Structure 1
């Protein structure tokens, strides 16, 4: 092990972490990846969600929820669902 490295040792494994340029680059890439994961998660929570469901009688209907406005909508008609979505995004 060199002077500029940190060694973490376990009974079965030895892990060396460099403190130089390469580890700094790795650290930056890791932080960037973590940040992107957080941004993607938050963005996905802001997207309109639309899904189809079936009631106990076998009738299919549509449900939607817009987390930005907090509004939701339910209809048995795909046409009505499309109209509601268009109304929200005008």
Structure 2
């Protein structure tokens, strides 16, 4: 992304074609900012570079085993027919 300052009066931006006035600041992708700067519509203020860190997977360590659900006691429960009479 890049921060630009509008220096031309005939610049429209966005999906809804919002008119940007002279002196307005806008944040656009770097390719668009460079194109607009080359034709004299904007002045490039700042380039922003985003870095994304992803964890590395160490192949020497084995993967942890997934947790197993606890097992019951194994005994059969009395089935109730909904009648509490003994």
Structure whose alpha-carbon radius of gyration is higher: 2
TM-score > 0.5 by shorter chain: no
Bigger share in strand: 1
Bigger share in helix: 1
TM value normalised by structure 2: 0.25
TM value normalised by structure 1: 0.25
